[in-house]
Each structure stands twice: as structure tokens, then as C-alpha cells.
Amino acid sequence: MTSSIQDKLKDIVALAKRRGFVYPCSEIYGGFANSYSFGPYGALLKKNIKDAWWRTFTQLRSDMVGLDGPILLHPKVWEASGHVAGFHDALVDCKSCKSRFRADHLIENALHREVEGLPLSEVTAIIHDNKIPCPKCKAVDWTDARQFNLMFHTPLKKTKNGEEEEIAYLRPETAQAIFIDFKNIIDTMRKRVPFGVAQMGKAFRNEITPGNFIFRVIEFEQMEIEYFIPPTGWESHFEQWLATMKEWCRLIGLKEEKLKLYEHPQDKLSHYSKRTVDILYEFPFGWSELYGLAYRTDFDLKQHAEHSKTKILYTDPETQEKYVPHVIEPTFGVERTFLALLCQSYEEQTLGEGDVRTVLHLPPTLAPIKVAVFPLMRKDGLAEIADAIFKALSPHFQAEYDEGGAIGKRYRRQDEIGTPFCVTIDYQTKEDGTVTLRHRDSMKQERVHKDELLTVIKNLMQTG
Ligand code: GAP
């Protein structure tokens, strides 16, 4: 049972493991830091998030197309994008216990002071002068701060004599594949600026993390949009996209009071951005970035044109004006959406003396399982009827059949994974063909004829 807000994350992590949403990575080998596996229900929740995003931003919009670019791109992409030269974290090592920390996090936590943008020598001096102790072993014995590039890399191939090898980077953002295929997309897709390209997929960053579960991991999924606009008038597109991102948050059920905006100060913007606004969510560990919106100007297309020596230009079909489009980038993290949804929907309800029900109030469209089907007993032909109902529902919804244990326990298990509807087949079903339909949030039960179940659940799914 939750005793404080801080414990809420622990309860969520425990539920995620207990109920097959998220497992620690490589657990049987002692674990692998900052990486997680998504279990059967986690995989479904993730898929539902991505399906909803793809439907919202590609299927329902005539100004958007999708792309599925590779994880490994030409190494020069990352030189052009600025990631080879500038995608760094300053890290320090504790010489005593050999733990490694992000220097900015170490200073922020100990001194409540921001150091972003300071030279390495100053960062080192702050740590030494203030005798900041190691959070793990309490020793004050630090290396100097050093820059570490966040990109993972892998040897690609060797030259004939086997001595040199080319380095390929695992993409740290999905965005670049869109920029380098911009020319292909305008040549093949008959799209007119303004239009956008959406992509989702894995990204990798060699991050040192403070252990906030799946909030910051080394392998994660992004859902990104690069929205191409004319060189002037970016402000209105930016505002429109901010409103659209807020609407997405509303659509997936994130409460407005749990969201706020953070405007990046001009002197702390990424090298490609002229304006960045983050949408923060109030996680149990505090307000932290959920999504981001950036005005990337024409930086990326120009960089790729220059580095690849290719003309990347758009010709306005009416005025014949040729220009390099500018870009508004709304970016969404899948794991952070997943975590925000778990935090938002997790509730421990006290129903009576010593009776606490844990329930995930996930929106029905995102819930891993939409309907669970139970025979009250295995015997007397009830299991056969239940199996037939499961087979009739499962082509339409992700359904689950469960015939083991007390019915109350089966309901509670489904509550914990956020299943909005449960159907129980009992002896009355044999008499009049009706089943019990139980609603997750209200726990209300009603009798519905089994032949009407599909229509009734379809309607309930639509009304939320
Ligand atoms: N293309 C722009 C870009 O990559 P970002 O703010 O670095 O911007 C975009 O990342 C989103 O990806 C973030 O808002 C967050 O949702 C997610 N994200 C970034 N790093 C992450 C990590 N280490 N683990 C989980 N999600 C991450």
C-alpha cells in the first residue's frame, strides 16, 4: 500500500513486474543497467500507444506521411547533424568505488545549482571546491570531468588489409533519417509544403541515469515528426503544433493539471534550435520532460546538403520559388508516455476493512486487454460456452480467457492490468443466454445477452 508520493514509483515498478508489463533487462545474469524488457502486457500497451500515435498523426491527416528509416545510417549523417562533435555529457568517476555520474546531476543534487554550458574546468572545480561526496560510497575522490559522447557505435566493416574499420553509430534520434530522405519524399509523394513526415522507432543513448525506472534508458523508442514549412511564418506553425501536442495528451487521458510547459532559455538551446518548449509531466519523482517541440530552422537540411554535396531544395509549384524548407519538430518518447500513463492510471482503492483494490484506469483504447472472459466453473459445460465467447470476441478485441481460481481474484487481476471489461459465464447463461458484464472503474455488473456482447463492448469502447 502506498505510504507516500515517493513510494508510488516503487509500487508502480512492482506492479509492472508482477503483472508482466516491464521486467528488468537480463535479470538472470544479474541485470543490465538502464535497460528494460517489455513483458506481454507491456508490449501490448506500447503497441497501442504507437498505433494511436500513428493513426492520429498520419492516418487522420492529409498533410502527413510516414517513414521507416534504418537505425544505422551513413556515419557522415552524424557529423553533419552535429552529434559527433556536440552530443556529449560531462561525466566524473568516483576513484574510490568506481561509480560514474553525470557531473551536472551530481552538482544539481548536491548544490541545487545548474551548470549546463559551463566549461569542463569550471565543472571540475565546482565538484572539488565544494567537496561533493560520492552518492554511493560518500568518498570525496573524483576524477576531472570529461566529455563522453552519448552515441553508441559499432565497427561496420574492415578495409581489405583488415587494419582500419569504419564506425557506424546507432541513431540517437529518429529525426535524421527523415532529413536525409527529404528529397526522396518530395520526389515521390506529391506533397506540398507545409507537410510533415512521421517516424517511430528505436533510438540509443549511452546515458548515465539516476534510476527513475524507464524514464531514461539507453534503448528507447521515439515517435517524431519533422514538419516542413516555408522559411517565414514559423511562429504560427509552432503554436499550432503545441496545441496539437496538448490535444494528443488529452486524447490519451493525461490530466491537464499533471502537465506544464517549459520554455528553454535562449542561451541553453540545442545547436539546431531557435525555440524549444518541453511538455513536462508530474512524475512521482518530480516534473520532468515528457515531450519536446523545437523549431529546427533549416539547419538540418542545409547541413546535409553541404556535407553530402547534394542540392536539397523545394520548388513551390505556384510561384516556382526554390527554397530550403524550415522545420518544426514535435517529438514524443514511447517509454515516457508509457510511464506517464501508468502513473496517471494507478490507483489503490480501499473498499473495506483490509480490502485494497489496485486498479489501472487506462483508457480502454490503450488497455492491453480489452475484455477478459471467465467461466464461473470449468465444469457443467460453462468452459465450452466461455471458450466460444472468447473465440467470437478475440478477432475484434485483444481478449483473454482465464478459467483458474476464484472469480473475485480473477477480476482483481484484470483490474491490475487495466482491463476495462470482464465477462463471466455462469449457470444462468445456460438458461437464458445472458452473461455478466463487469466494468473495471465502477465495478458495476450487468446482464447482457451473449449474442449482443460484441455490439455492447464495441459501443462502450467508443464512448470510453
Ligand atoms: N529529435 C529531437 C530529440 O531527440 P530529445 O528531447 O533529446 O529530442 C525526444 O528526445 C524525446 O525522446 C524526449 O522528449 C523523450 O520523450 C524521449 N527520450 C529522450 N531520451 C530518452 C531516454 N534516454 N530514455 C527514454 N526516453 C527518452
Check which CATH number belongs to the domain holding 193 and give it: 3.30.930.10
81 within some domain? no
Q: Which residues does ligand 1 sit against, CB inside 6 Å? A: 173, 175, 205, 207, 216-217, 220, 222, 224, 289, 291-292, 329, 331, 333, 335-336
DSSP-assigned beta bridge partners for residue 286: 283
Going from the Cα of 215 to the center of ligand 1, the distance in angstroms, rounded, reads: 10
Any domain includes 361 = no
Q: Which three cell numbers stand for residue 270?
A: 540545442
| Residue 84: inside a domain | no
Is residue 133 located within the same domain as residue 108?
A: yes
Phi, psi (deg, nearest 5) at residue 10: -60, -45
Which residue owns the Cα nearest ligand 1 atom 3?
173
Amino acid at 426: D
Question: 306 burial class (0-12, 13-18, 19+ CB within 10 angstroms)?
Answer: exposed
Is there a single domain that holds both residue 194 and residue 315? yes
Total of domains in the chain? 3
Q: From ligand 1's centre to the CA of 222, what distance in Å?
A: 7
User: pLDDT at position 368, please?
Assistant: 98
Are residues 136 and 109 in contact, defined by beta-carbon separation less than 8 angstroms?
Answer: no
Same domain, 385 and 425: yes
Tell me the CATH number at 382: 3.40.50.800
SS3 letters for the chain? CCCCHHHHHHHHHHHHHHCCCEEECCHHHCCCCCCEEECHHHHHHHHHHHHHHHHHHHHCCCCEEEECCCCECCHHHHHHCCHHHHCEEEEEEECCCCCEEEHHHHHHHHHCCCCCCCCHHHHHHHHHHCCCCCCCCCCCCECCCEEEECCCEEEEEECCCCCCEEEEEECCCCHHHHHHCHHHHHHHHCCCCCEEEEEEEEEECCCCCCCCCCCCCCEEEEEEEEEEECCCCHHHHHHHHHHHHHHHHHHCCCCHHHEEEEECCHHHCCCCCCEEEEEEEEECCEEEEEEEEEEEECHHHHHHHHHHCCCCCEECCCCCCEECCEEEEEEEEHHHHHHHHHHHHEEEEEEECCEEEEEECCCCCCCCCCEEEEECCCCCCHHHHHHHHHHHHCCCCCEEECCCCCHHHHHHHHHHHCCCEEEEECHHHHHHCEEEEEECCCCCEEEEEHHHHHHHHHHHHHHC
Residue of minimum CA distance from atom 15 in ligand 1: 333
- Residue 391 alpha carbon to ligand 1 centre in Å: 40
Residue 309 lies in a domain: yes
Looking at ligand 1, which residue's alpha carbon is closest to its atom 24?
216
Within a domain: 317? yes
CA 2, chain centre distance (Å): 25
Q: Confirm whether 160 is domain-assigned.
A: no
Pair 120, 263 in one domain: no
How far is residue 407's CA from residue 423's CA, in Å, rounded to a whole number? Answer: 11
Per-residue confidence (pLDDT) for residue 1, from 0 to 100: 46
Residue 307 CB partners (closer than 8 Å, separation 6+): 76, 79, 80
Pairing of strands 195-204, 64-67: parallel
- Same domain for 201 and 283, yes or no, is yes
Query: Which of 134, 149, 164 is the endpoint of a domain?
Result: 149
Residue with CA closest to ligand 1 atom 25:
216
Q: Are 67 and 103 in the same domain?
A: no
Which of 115, 133, 149 represents a domain boundary (last residue)? 149
- Using the atom order of ligand 1, give the atom closest to the CA of residue 292: 14
Query: What atom of ligand 1 comes closest to residue 294's alpha carbon?
Result: 2
Predicted pLDDT of residue 6? 67
Q: Does 409 lie in the same domain as 325?
A: no
Residues in the chain, pLDDT under 50: 1-2
Instruction: Report whether 213 contacts 13 (CB < 8 A).
Output: yes
Burial environment of residue 361 by CB neighbours within 10 A (0 to 12, 13 to 18, 19 or more): middle
Residue 216 CA, closest ligand 1 atom number: 24
| Structure-block grid coordinates of residue 404 | 483458474
Strands 146-149 and 275-283: unpaired
Distances (CA, A) of 29 to 26, 35, 155: 6, 13, 26
What CATH number did the domain enclosing 126 receive? Answer: 3.30.40.230
pLDDT of residue 119: 87
Report if residue 168 sits inside a domain: no
Shared domain for 302 and 234, answered yes or no, is: yes
Contact yes or no for 113/148 (Cβ under 8 A): no
**pTM over 0.75, yes/no:** yes
> What residues contact 130, with CB distance under 8 A and at least 6 apart?
107, 110, 111
Q: Residue 59's CB: how many other CB atoms inside 10 A?
A: 10
Q: Which of 336, 338, 341 to mutate to test the pocket of ligand 1 (most atoms within 8 A of CB)?
A: 336
Could you list the residue range(s) of the whole structural domain that residue 436 is in?
Answer: 369-463
Residue 63, CA atoms < 13 Å, CB-side half-sphere: 10
Q: Which residue's alpha carbon is at the smallest distance from atom 6 of ligand 1?
A: 292
Same domain, 248 and 119: no
User: Do both 197 and 330 map to the same domain?
Assistant: yes
CA 5-10-16 angle, 5° bins: 125
What is the whole-number distance in angstroms between the Cα of residue 335 and the centre of ligand 1? 9
Together in a domain, 42 and 182: yes
The verdict on 241 and 323 lying in the same domain is yes
In a domain, 436, yes or no: yes
